């Protein structure tokens, strides 16, 4: 009996031991899997040999948590101080390179401009535009063809000519009238500036202009603002980094919904033009492009309707968001520095006399006003990180090895505050663009439109608009800050474009004051 009991106890202990073995093995296996995954993530986060240095990163999310939400540009400044003018960061599992200051950016944009003329893969953007258009399209024959044709059409429809100047002055007159109608109380100038600037490009693209209260234009501009803000945000980055989340109902879906609204607006314009199209009688950009599509020799080329839609979105976007944003900054700086505003007005009055309008060629005769406009662009840098570049083949940058396809951000904001390039890099001072004789001088490090092979297509148009719109406003109004208890807020809101918060200003007709 004793033997049987002992035998049963031994048998039970053996069964319990056998049950415990797989449990222990499963625990060990789980830890081995976890440690292996961590090792894999850490191994993947190691920078390739010869790659630019940078901070440590977390598995999966990279360096995203190392940036403050409101002032990421200051974080980039601090990283440059530690790692030098060329460094790298992980966005999710992908490495990106940043240049800081003028010299390293010049190597990317100009010295080796063709080597770095590519555009990196960007899943959310590639899904939207299918690598078409000119802003984000990859460097190649199709891009060259579309850019060359677009530049030709812009010139044919007045870019750099008197006819374009007249269009801008016409919109400036409408803008002044709108300001005068609303000058009885403080008001937000944003919608009026956006309509004026957009109408200049609209007259080229669509052959028509919009009124300030046009709902279709307001919708397009609103969704453009939203997308510019979200494009550099965490949800767009999550979409790009993690394919599994792309179909989930997360905030990035708003970007895609907004794009559908823009394309619906463009599709409507395109259908109207196709219905009224008469070969040989071209009225605007769309008509000329449609005629180019119909040419027999264009079969199999990059000229087709989907390309046209993306091209229209590129030109409309580039021709409205950045220039209108710069004009908003200009008004904010003019009220923040009333003595500079007054000095501009005295220079304009002294030169203009009884003449009715300024012309673009008058910029050279208004050195101080011209310097103020450039200084506003320098201080604000509306597109702070430019449009990303990538080498079209394996390349070298600042002595580092950069593989083909690597995303490169040229920090234009850092160029415009580079202490080796500017007399007053950290303050608003028009003397940055004036020599000892008071003559206007544009330093090489002034790059609000980027530089090199992928320089902004609309640079000349934007420069014309900024000068003619701002001088028209300065000539007509004294602009002031309505709240004497609080200074204007010059803090930018970071995004693909860097814009001020909404604000209201007061305007008084200068003729009534005098």
Report how far apart, in Å, the C-alpha atoms of 413 and of each of 82, 115, 222, 432 are.
Answer: 18, 23, 25, 15
Instruction: Give which of 458, 423, 434, 461 is closest to 369, Cα–Cα.
Output: 434
Cα atoms in the Cβ-side hemisphere of radius 13 Å centred on 348: 24
- How many residues are present in the chain? 514
Tokens, residue 124: 């959310």
DSSP state of 47: P
Other C-beta atoms closer than 10 Å to the C-beta of 406 total: 25
Helix axes 367-380, 338-352, angle to 10 degrees: 140
Strand-pair category, 407-411 with 94-100:
parallel
Residue for token pair 């974080």? 75
What are the structure tokens assigned to 444, written together? 């090489």
Q: Is 456 within any annotated ligand binding site?
A: yes
Name the token pair of 194: 């956006």
Q: Which residues of 245-262 are buried (b: 16+ CB within 10 A; e: fewer)?
A: ebeeeeebeebeebbeeb
Q: How far is CA 16 from CA 7, 12, 233, in A?
A: 14, 6, 55
Q: Which residues are annotated as a binding site?
A: 456
Q: Which residues are annotated as a binding site for heme?
A: 456
């Amino acid at each position: 009996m004793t033997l049987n009991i002992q035998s049963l106890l031994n048998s039970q202990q053996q069964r319990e031991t056998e049950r415990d073995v797989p449990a222990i093995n499963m625990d060990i296996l789980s830890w081995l899997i976890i440690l292996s995954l961590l090792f894999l993530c850490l191994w993947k986060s190691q920078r390739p040999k010869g790659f630019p240095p940078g901070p440590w990163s977390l598995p999966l999310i990279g360096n995203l948590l190392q940036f403050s939400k409101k002032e990421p540009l200051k974080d980039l400044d601090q990283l440059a101080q530690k790692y030098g003018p060329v460094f790298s960061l992980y966005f999710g599992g992908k490495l990106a390179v940043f240049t800081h200051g003028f010299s390293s950016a010049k190597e990317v944009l100009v010295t080796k401009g063709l080597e770095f003329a590519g555009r990196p893969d960007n899943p959310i953007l590639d899904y939207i535009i299918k690598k078409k258009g000119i802003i984000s399209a990859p460097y190649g024959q199709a891009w060259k063809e579309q850019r060359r044709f677009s530049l030709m059409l812009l010139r044919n429809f007045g870019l750099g000519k008197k006819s374009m100047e007249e269009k801008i002055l016409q919109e400036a007159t409408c803008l002044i009238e709108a300001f005068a109608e609303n000058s009885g109380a403080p008001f937000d100038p944003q919608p009026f500036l956006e309509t004026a600037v957009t109408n200049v490009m609209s007259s080229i693209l669509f052959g028509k202009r919009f009124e300030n209260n046009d709902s279709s234009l307001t919708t397009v501009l609103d969704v453009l603002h939203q997308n510019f803000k979200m494009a550099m945000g965490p949800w767009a980055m999550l979409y790009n980094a993690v394919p599994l989340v792309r179909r989930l109902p997360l905030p990035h879906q708003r970007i895609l919904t907004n794009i559908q609204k823009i394309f619906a607006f463009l599709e409507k314009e395109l259908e109207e033009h196709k219905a009224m199209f008469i070969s040989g009688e071209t009225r605007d950009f769309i008509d000329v492009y449609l005629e180019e599509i119909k040419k027999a020799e264009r079969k199999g080329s990059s000229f087709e309707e989907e390309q046209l839609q993306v091209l229209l979105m590129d030109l409309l976007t580039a021709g409205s968001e950045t220039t209108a944003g710069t004009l908003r900054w200009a008004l904010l700086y003019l009220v923040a520095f009333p003595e500079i505003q007054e000095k501009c007005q005295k220079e304009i009055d002294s030169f203009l006399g009884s003449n009715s309008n300024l012309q673009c060629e008058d910029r050279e005769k208004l050195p101080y006003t011209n310097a103020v406009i450039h200084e506003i662009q320098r201080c604000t840098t509306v597109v702070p990180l430019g449009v990303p570049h990538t080498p079209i083949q394996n390349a070298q940058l600042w002595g580092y090895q950069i593989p083909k396809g690597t995303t490169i951000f040229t920090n234009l904001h850092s160029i415009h505050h580079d202490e080796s390039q500017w007399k007053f890099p950290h303050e608003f001072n028009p003397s940055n663009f004036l020599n000892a004789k008071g003559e206007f001088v544009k330093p090489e490090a002034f790059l609000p439109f980027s530089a090199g092979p992928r320089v902004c297509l609309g640079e000349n148009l934007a420069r014309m608009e900024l000068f003619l719109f701002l001088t028209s406003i300065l000539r007509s109004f004294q602009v002031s800050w309505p709240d004497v208890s609080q200074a204007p807020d010059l803090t930018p809101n970071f995004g693909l474009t860097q814009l001020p918060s909404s604000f209201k200003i007061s305007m008084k007709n200068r003729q009534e004051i005098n």
